[in-house]
Structure 1
């Protein structure tokens, strides 16, 4: 984990829900958890929460792990696709729901609302944050973790005319057409502040792509990061580039093959940025050390 804290002051649902896509989500869960030092989230919530909401729960691993950690809390995971397991802890329930529609959750309900990996899927983030604000208890927390869909390098080892450079160009083109922001991570903090969240904190991380770092913990993180990309790249790219930009399937597969070749090259030190932002709904107890 490479972390750059700023204290205090693309989307995983975009592809089809086949086996590779679900594996991509499961690897992502492990990648986030490793980045957080084994923690499931960073917000300093009440130690005895009663209700927790996971938006865009995917395969439900985060919700299940949180339910095991907080057995007294009811954990609700929502998603557009019913891809969650049927055998879950008794304090977990999954619902098919569109988070951009009007919510039916009672106001002042949740101690924590969790969002992760939804870049490129939402048309109006401030409106979504406003619904989160309404559904949170006074003093409750909203946390969002997002990674960049753009690959960068701190030592300029990404070829300027290769697959990664091409991918960095076409991804934003797709989402501009779809009117969905791809680089969500850079606007999360300001969006939370503008909606009225308090005690807003941002943590910045970098994921190495591939086991090229020398430090063992970063080498392991890089291996997971590369697996995360390789299990999601073609599934996500094929649908978008063929349907939005009119590419042929063969053209997309060539692009993905070039990207995979570069991220497997130990001389290419590609990274993805990942930011975590959490903020507190005004009111409630003020004795939490942020």
Structure 2
């Protein structure tokens, strides 16, 4: 099994005029069967709304603010790979595609609208999630269901491609999930896991001048471990796929800045988008992890988030995240794997 790592170069800082990062602010078909009313009995905490199905098993909100953030994340992921929706070398006509943890369903819908007409005209796309937040009018080959990906899978037919994105903190047993994906793929089918690393980094040691950010790194990862659904899984996903039996595994790593400090124009634009994402997203990803798991008060959480945002605003702090695109193929004749 070969491996590739790309775009891991040092990010060059713009030595010209410094910009304050804060300036980045300046019908076709029914898609689901009826669901029990309890699914919509959302839970509210700290001013945010959370899912009701399998309540408490996922610690990020599902309200309108979060949906806007997820759609921004989708645009960031696409921009990283120049507008692509996936990196795996899919066959010309994948008949069945599964998007686990689909969120707002934007990836699944884009797969149909942007690709199906030319590349995959016969693809059927299924998105699963704990929350009922997807559109009610969708393409004819796209549908969504409420499902917990951690439960045993019971799909009638296998898939040619399984896609997952931003599932950090949502899965307790990644080995079991990788095994389920393997068993539910057709021979030669592909899986792709797209994840962001769970900590800020810097190449010039400026992270050492951001004490709030370093504390957030430490406590966010600690909360994931204590909750039993780790958030530091991006660098480990290659191992999950190898253990499950996938071959031709590739791992692409992209350094994406937070803020407009890079010299490169494209990375500067991505950095602005990431800054906006982090200003909005820090609360979303921190509230339940820090409050429910670590026992922090809302005041303590808000104070830490404010400190992190102030450090991100500083053009002296050249912070970034690693984004991982990890994909592999099920070999012909691959045998079903027992749950690990």
By the TM > 0.5 criterion, same fold? yes
Q: Secondary structure at the match of 1:187?
A: helix
Larger gyration radius, structure 1 or structure 2: 2
Q: Does 1:169 align with 2:218?
A: yes
* Contact 1:24-1:229 within 8 A present in 2 as well: no
Match of 2:318 among 269, 281, 285: 269
Question: Shift in Å at residue 128 of structure 1?
Answer: 0.4
Cα gap change, 1:217/1:137 in structure 2, threshold over 3 Å: closer, same or farther? same
Counterpart Cα distance in 2 of 1:141 and 1:228:
29
Residues in 2 aligned to 1:277 and 1:106: alpha-carbon distance in whole angstroms: 26
SS of the equivalent of 2:189 reads: strand
- Unaligned stretches of 5+ residues in structure 2: 1-5, 10-57, 334-340
Alpha-carbon deviation of 1:162?
Answer: 2.2
Q: Which runs of 5+ in 1 are unaligned?
A: 6-12, 285-290
| 2:44 alignment partner in structure 1 | none
- Aligned counterpart, 2:75: 30
Q: 1:64 aligns with which of 101, 104, 109?
A: 109
Q: List structure 1 segments (4+ residues) > 4 angstroms apart after TM superposition.
A: none
Match of 2:194 among 134, 145, 150: 145
- The 2-side partners of 1:132 and 1:159 are apart by 40
Instruction: Tell which deviates more after alignment, 136-145 or 236-245.
Output: 236-245
Q: How many angstroms apart in 1 are the aligned matches of 2:308 and 2:286? A: 11
Q: Does residue 259 of structure 1 match 2:263?
A: no
Q: Deviations over 1:195-246 (max 9, x none)?
A: 1001111111111001111111000111111122122111221222111111
Aligned partner of 2:8 among 4, 26, 29:
4
Report what 1:74 is aligned to.
124
Which residue is 2:27 aligned to? none
Structure 1 residue 270 displacement after superposition: 0.5
The aligned counterpart of 1:129 is 178
CA distance in 2, matches of 1:211, 1:161: 17
Q: Secondary structure at 2:206's aligned position in 1?
A: coil
User: Is the 1:54–1:75 Cα contact (8 Å) retained in structure 2?
Assistant: yes
Q: Tell me the C-alpha RMSD between the 2 structures.
A: 1.5
Say how many residue pairs are matched: 275
Q: Distance in 2 between matches of 1:105 and 1:146?
A: 25
The 3-state SS of whatever aligns with 2:170 is coil
Give, in whole Å, the separation in 2 of the partners of 1:17 and 1:132. 25
CA contact under 8 A between 1:23 and 1:231: conserved in structure 2?
Answer: no
Question: Secondary structure, in 3 states, of the residue corresponding to 1:4?
Answer: coil
